[in-house]
Amino acid sequence: MPDSDLSPAMVHELASLRERLSILTGPQGPEVSPDTVFSVVEKMAERHRAVHEAIVALAVRHLADTGFGGPPVTFSFMMLGSGARREQSVMSDQDHALVYAAGREDPAVDDAYFSRLGSVTSALLRRVGYALCTGNVMAGNPRWRGTEADFKTRLAEYAAYPDWHNIRFLLIPTDAAPITGSERSVSEIRRFGAELVAGSPFIKWKIGDQIQSVRLAVSSLGGIRFEPAGPHKGTFAVKEGLYQPLVNVVRLFALASGVEGPSTEQRIQGLARRGVFEPNLADEVRRALAVALTVRVRHHMALQARGAPADDHVPEAELDEVLRHGVRQALRVARQVQQLAGRRFPRSG
């Protein structure tokens, strides 16, 4: 979206929002550790949320200024993925959706407005530093936009034909949190998806089986696996090799057990309260998550400080001995809960 499409005031506001995000890499960087990371990430989540809320407001104003009028019905803009879980680092791509109230007899009229709103919001988020989602999980995509009834219909269809492609779409809204608008519709969509997972032994087995098939970044000797070749040679894949597997397995246990809310840390606490995780195991899983987040946040801070694009491939030199020990322990715990999922969610149901 070129500057000529925006008013000077909006261009100025976008510059201000970019500055607000850049502050995330300030003096708190060296303080990030497994003991402090949850509070640091929470502060980052508040900043990301405020920026997203401001961007949606700018998009609504832009549509009004360019002849599209105001929103025809009430709506909620929701974050998905790490944003909904409040686990975003300093660098993040876009994962969002939009739910709006049922209104006119011709729903296509309302959807035309919200299609435009979703696309403009994505364009403005990109301008302030949020990369487009490579999987197109964004409100401009019709799959991630509609009424509450639309979302429930889609989720039920995914559950009715639960190949892995559809299960992935079913899981995505179970990590959702509102940025603007009402919490009710977002919570209802999240709850409906969770109940579909919890009520299907096959889907739970399929998710558990997929979780166990993920290769953690563990070497043949039980240490950290650093990529032996290729463009990421000598790096530790913190997202694919530790963080995401932990998030996925905790989410499976939480959905199966009726633990509400998208935060992984809160899910761990809920699983401990319900006796699904023994207290010691819950503490170990929480510590493993803290280590994964610490490594990821530190790496992203280092990349942003030198103006490099975001990635999740951590050079060996960025891991001091304390973090190396923490990562090795975290990988052990991740494997333990993966195996627990295999026993808890067998194919027989």
CB hemisphere CA count around 32 (13 angstroms):
30
> pTM of the full predicted structure?
0.94
The reported pLDDT for the residue numbered 28 is: 45
Query: What is the separation of C-alpha 236 from the centre of its chain, rounded to a whole number of angstroms?
Result: 21
- Is residue 161 in a domain? no
Is 99:147 a contact under the CB 8 Å cutoff?
A: yes
Residue 220 and residue 135 share a domain: no
Three-state SS letters, 155-212 = HHHHHHCCCHHHHHHHHHHHCEEEEECCHHHHHHHHHHHHHHHHCCHHHHHHHHHHHH
Is a pLDDT exceeding 50 seen at residue 349?
no
Number of domains in the chain: 2
> What CATH number has the domain bearing residue 19?
3.30.460.10
How confident is the model over 252-272, as pLDDT tens digits? 999 999 999 899 999 999 999
Domain assignment present for residue 188? The answer is no
Strands 145-146 and 96-100: parallel
The pLDDT of residue 92 is 85
> Are both 132 and 213 inside the same structural domain?
no
Q: Does residue 196 fall inside a structural domain? A: no
Same domain, 241 and 138: no
Residues 206 and 138 in one domain: no
Domain boundary among 146, 163, 178: 146
Evaluate whether residue 327 is within a structural domain: yes
Residue 23 has pLDDT above 70, yes or no: no
Is the same domain home to 135 and 207? no
Coil, strand or helix at 236 = strand
Lowest mean pLDDT among 55-59, 117-121, 301-305: 301-305
Where is the domain boundary, 113, 131, 146?
146
Give pLDDT tens digits for 298-342. Answer: 999 888 888 888 899 999 999 999 999 999 999 999 999 999 999
Region 122-138: mean pLDDT is 93
Answer with the one of 127, 146, 165 that is the final residue of a domain: 146
Reply yes or no on whether the pLDDT at 1 is more than 70. Answer: no
What is residue 29's predicted lDDT score, i.e. its pLDDT? 47
Encode pLDDT of 67-77 as tens digits: 999 999 999 99
C-alpha triplet 125, 127, 130: angle, nearest 5°: 50
154 in any annotated domain: no
Same domain for 132 and 20 = yes
For 91, the token pair is 């660098």
283-296 pLDDT per residue, tens: 999 999 999 999 99
* Domain assignment of residue 56, yes or no: yes
Residue 154's beta-bridge partner residues?
Answer: none
With a cut of 90, say whether residue 168 has pLDDT above it: yes
Q: Say whether both 22 and 138 belong to one domain.
A: yes
Q: Are residues 236 and 106 in the same domain?
A: no
Q: What are phi and psi of 232, to 5 degrees?
A: -110, 30
The beta-strand segments (E) located in 194-299 are: 235-237
Provide the domain limits for residue 76: 3-146
pLDDT at residue 17 greater than cutoff 90: no
> Same domain for 34 and 129?
yes
CATH of the domain at 340: 1.20.120
220 with 142, same domain: the answer is no
